[in-house]
Amino acid sequence: MSSDRLGRPPALLIVPAALATLLLVVPLVSLVARTPWRRLPELLFTEEVGLALRLSLLTSTVALAVCLVLGLPLAWFLARTDFPGRSLLRALVTVPLVLPPVVAGVALLAAFGRTGSVGGPLRDLTGITLPYTTVAVVLAHVFVSMPFFVISVEGALRTADPAYDAAAATLGATRWTTFRRVTVPLAMPGIVAGLVLGWARSLGEFGATITFAGNFPGTTQTMPSLVFVELQHDQEAARVISLVMLAISIGVLTLFRDRWLGTP
């Protein structure tokens, strides 16, 4: 390795780097090591886990679709157009990234709750209430994962050379054609990376979901909520469900890593 020629890495860097690795790896290894393999089938193949898994996959996938349909245009506006207040808009989009999830849940209640600023009029007009429904789970997921998606895609759009947009315009393409046939294909690796990031964030979402949508098996109880419930009375069950989520996460990561994320 060429860095060897510059001398050994200093101990002052080796020790913290090793500690960082341990901190990240030990919990995951422990989770796998302490899996009650013998009880696994009985703990895993229950109606509750089946319902939660189905709901988690459904809501995170729908949330992802919403992110793509609404978030991609937003990312395009942030990356490719110039309008007053663009920096402010970008700042607002990033707020949910740093917001505690439970606060996100409270904010969603304030907006879409029975008496919320949108939820109140909605109930008066149509009789529909959102909290504690599967739609609320999706809303919570969208709220927390959209910023990941938008920021990641905006970065990808900025890296894709805008000169290609200019070339397309000289060839007679409208901005929509350019978006569809040039910009999006060129930014595709970044878009997929954003989808993976957003989906992972959505799958793991707990705080906003339980605050805004509750924890009812079959309608709003996602995998993380189920883990939280199981932890109260059967830690082994909680570990088994967590193992499933770990497996899903690693599976998605390896599936997309080689093809899109570009890092070995």
Partner 1 sequence: MSLDVRVVVPGRVEAAFTSPLGETVAVIGPNGAGKSTLVGAVAGLVRAGGHVRLGKEELTERTVRDRRIGFVFQDKLLFPHLSALANVAFGPRSRGTPRRAAEQTARDWLERLGIGDLAGRKPGQLSGGQAQRVAIARALATDPQLLLLDEPMAGLDVRVATALRIELAHHLAAYGGTTLLVTHDALDALTIADRVLVLDEGRVAQFGTPAEVAAQPATEHVAQLVGLNVLRDGDHFTAFPPSAVNVSLDEPAGSARLHWRGTVTNAAPHGEALRLRASTESGPELIADVTPAAATELSLAPGRAVWLTVKETAVRRY
Q: For binding to partner 1 (CB under 8 A), which residues are involved?
A: 161, 163-164, 166-174, 177, 181-182, 185-186
CA dist., res. 62 & res. 221, Å (int):
16
> Is the CB of 49 or the CB of 182 nearer to partner 1?
182
- Closest approach, Cβ 172 to partner 1, in A, equals 4
Q: Which of residues 138 and 160 has its CB atom nearest to partner 1 in the complex?
A: 160
Report the residue number, 168 or 197, with the smaller CB distance to partner 1. Answer: 168
Do 59 and 222 touch, CB atoms closer than 8 A?
Answer: yes
- CA atoms of 225 and 220, how far apart (whole Å): 9
Pick 37 or 176: Cβ nearer partner 1: 176
Q: Do 224 and 211 meet the contact criterion of CB atoms below 8 Å apart?
A: no
Of 188 and 246, the one with the shorter C-beta distance to partner 1 is: 188
Question: DSSP per residue over 63-105, as a string?
Answer: HHHHIIIIIHHHHHHHHH---TTHHHHHHHHHHHHHS-HHHHH
Please, are residues 217 and 51 in contact by the beta-carbon 8 Å criterion?
yes
Phi-psi region of 241 (alpha: psi -120 to 50; beta: other; left: phi over 0): alpha
CB atoms within 10 A of CB 108: 25
In the complex with partner 1, which residue's Cβ is closer, 51 or 173?
173
Asked if residues 111 and 119 have their Cβ atoms less than 8 Å apart, the reply is yes
Query: Smallest distance from the beta carbon of 181 to partner 1, in angstroms?
Result: 7
